[in-house]
Amino acid sequence: MKKYNILFLCTHNSARSVLGEALASTHPSGLLVGYSAGSSPGTSVNPFAKELALEMGYDVAKLRSKSWDEYALPDAPKMDFIVTVCDNAAGEQCPFWPGRPATAHWGFADPSSVQGSDEDKRSAFNEVMIGLKKRIDLLTEMPLDTLDSLRLKQIHAK
């Protein structure tokens, strides 16, 4: 069974994109290998994103904020799909992605900007995780070998 590489992009690569990486990589279909990166990566993964990724069974050694430049290098994994998950990253000039992957923007509010109790923050992260999971579920039900950018952009959580 072919596996498809999907790169989730966000500005700091500490929350939403990390959740996308973990969700794709642990998806029960086994069809996806998730990656994440940011245009201006932070110094660490948000603790609430890390907590959720670990609950999914994602390998803690892979949890780090990284630059999208890593995936534009010649020896980087070839991406089949690239999804921006924050409005800032969607508006930035991205590197050239070899292989012309299908691209889309699945925007989510930044859960790390939520103020309040840890419960409030956890709730915000859970909302993003649920939204991403619904879209990834829909994605894996589509004919991935012929999916183009237009159809990838049309995937909306129901």
Instruction: Just list the catalytic residues.
Output: 10, 86, 94
Could you give the CA distance from residue 116 to residue 107 in angstroms, rounded to a whole number? 23
Count Cβ atoms within 10 A of the Cβ of residue 74 and give its class: 0-12 exposed, 13-18 middle, 19 or more buried: exposed
Length of the chain: 158
Measured over all CA atoms, what is the biggest interatomic distance in the chain, rounded to whole angstroms? 45
Tokens (6 digits) for 91: 């508006």
Could you give the CA distance from residue 128 to residue 120 in angstroms, rounded to a whole number? 13
CA proximity to 6, closest of 46, 20, 92: 20
